[in-house]
Amino acid sequence: MTVGYLRPTRVLVNQQAIYENVQNELAQLKNQETEIFAVVKANGYGHGMVPVAQAAEAAGATGFCVAILDEALDLRRADFTEPILTLGITQPSYASLMAANQISVTVGSLTWLEEAYDILKSEKNSRPIHVHLGIDSGMGRIGFRDASELLAAYQFMQTHNDYFDFEGVFTHFATADDPDDTYFKEQSARFKTLLAVLPEQPRYVHVSNSATSLWHAACNGNMIRLGVSMYGLNPSGKAIEQVPYPLKPAMRVESELCFVKEVKSGSKIGYGATYTADSPEWIGTVPIGYADGWLRRMQGSQVLVDGQFCEVVGRVCMDQLMIRLPHEYPVDTKVVLVGNSGNESISLQDVADYAGTIHYEIACDLAERLPRVYQPITGDINI
């Protein structure tokens, strides 16, 4: 996709914030041997995968998690040598490619191992593939649910240990960000029951995403998959406000007024003529729209101009939106969609609340057409 460098709309990403969030997580770990794998899937949750990975690495992350094999290979091309785990299911037909690039793979069935073995054997691959056995303890997404199949997978890897390196075992919690921990405890018990089936434990035993590491640290295992909290966002939204260390948001979204006009009372604004000025009003146009990931349903939401909240009037267009200004402002005046302006601020959580979704989705929906501008790491922090 073409990146819009020649318009004033951009996403500013503070690498220092990411650095500090990782450092703070490391500082509160009870087991100093526990490692942090930075979750940089989905283009670093919209922040930019490679620059996020660089900041996390500098802060002490020792590995990375991605969703798909293509993301893992992009990290390798960017010269990251640390372990990289693909969290989703990758087709076994790519087993040799993963082995050659030392990409760790999530496996959730014996069938996957058998198919991968046939491929690795036929291609006479010289390197084993690193395997993390996924356990479905109640998320209902991927992973082993049956103890006998889990044991059979382990035994298969042991029998064919020239082709498979049993590197990890893990699960994922569905409600770690819920104040009610009843189901969390059920999942934890199921994971422990299935884990006990294995005759040995691998290098990595991991259950902690951001929410688990923040509110159930006793379950951490020896590796944390640090995701949304690394970006300074509370995994629970507003459900659990207390966190063990401050989360510093890394993302700011800003643009400028590209057109300003005064309209008469009764003037219509936008597609469908859904907004009518009830008096003479100053209307500003901002060059961002739903093609950039600023959702159409954001009509009626607020942006900041000169420290003042301004309503989005009329429907959000594909490439532009209109706002009602308190008075005339010159073209090129800054407009803040996420971040601070004067004494006021708009967070990703605020945007998500208005849109009826979660901040993960808002950040991930920001299109590649929006250039990412990086504010570099400035140094260590006093923890």
Task: Give me the pLDDT at residue 1, please.
Answer: 83
Amino acid at 259: F
Identify the active-site residue in 185, 192, 268, 271. 271
Is 307 a member of any domain? yes
Question: 287 and 225 share a domain?
Answer: no
Q: Please report the sign of the dihedral spanned by the C-alpha atoms of residue 145, residue 149, residue 153, residue 154.
A: positive
Identify the active-site residue in 41, 117, 354, 360. 41
> Is-catalytic flag, 154?
no
pLDDT of 383 above 60: no
> Is-catalytic flag, 185?
no
Q: Domain of 258: which CATH number?
A: 2.40.37.10
141 is in an annotated binding site: yes
Average pLDDT of the chain? Answer: 96
Question: 67 and 186 share a domain?
Answer: yes
| Max Cα–Cα distance, the chain, nearest Å | 80
Q: Domain span at residue 342?
A: 251-375
What is the number of domains present in the chain? 2
Quote the pTM value: 0.96
Task: Give me the pLDDT at residue 76, please.
Answer: 98
Task: Give me the pLDDT at residue 213, please.
Answer: 96
**Among the ranges given (45-49, 109-113, 191-195, 217-221), the one the predictor scored with the smallest mean pLDDT:** 217-221
The token pair that represents 108 in the structure block = 């959730």
Q: What is the mean pLDDT of residues 19-39?
A: 94
Q: Domain of 129: which CATH number?
A: 3.20.20.10
318 is in an annotated binding site: yes
Q: How confident is the model over 300-338, as pLDDT tens digits?
A: 999 999 999 999 999 999 999 999 999 999 999 999 999
CB 64 within 8 A of CB 76: no
Question: 210 and 293 share a domain?
Answer: no
Query: Measured between alpha carbons, how far is 210 from 227 in angstroms, rounded to an integer?
Result: 6
Is 140 a member of any domain? yes
Query: Measured between alpha carbons, how far is 113 from 149 in angstroms, rounded to an integer?
Result: 12
Task: Give me the pLDDT at residue 379, please.
Answer: 74
Q: Which residue has the tokens 């590197």?
A: 167
Residue 123: pLDDT band (50, 70, 90) is confident
Question: 301 and 210 share a domain?
Answer: no
Is 24 a member of any domain? no
| β pairing state of 275-276 and 268-269 | antiparallel
Question: 180 and 320 share a domain?
Answer: no
Task: Give me the pLDDT at residue 381, please.
Answer: 62
Q: What is the mean pLDDT of residues 220-224?
A: 94
Question: 84 and 190 share a domain?
Answer: yes
Q: How confident is the model over 155-168, as pLDDT tens digits?
A: 999 999 999 999 99
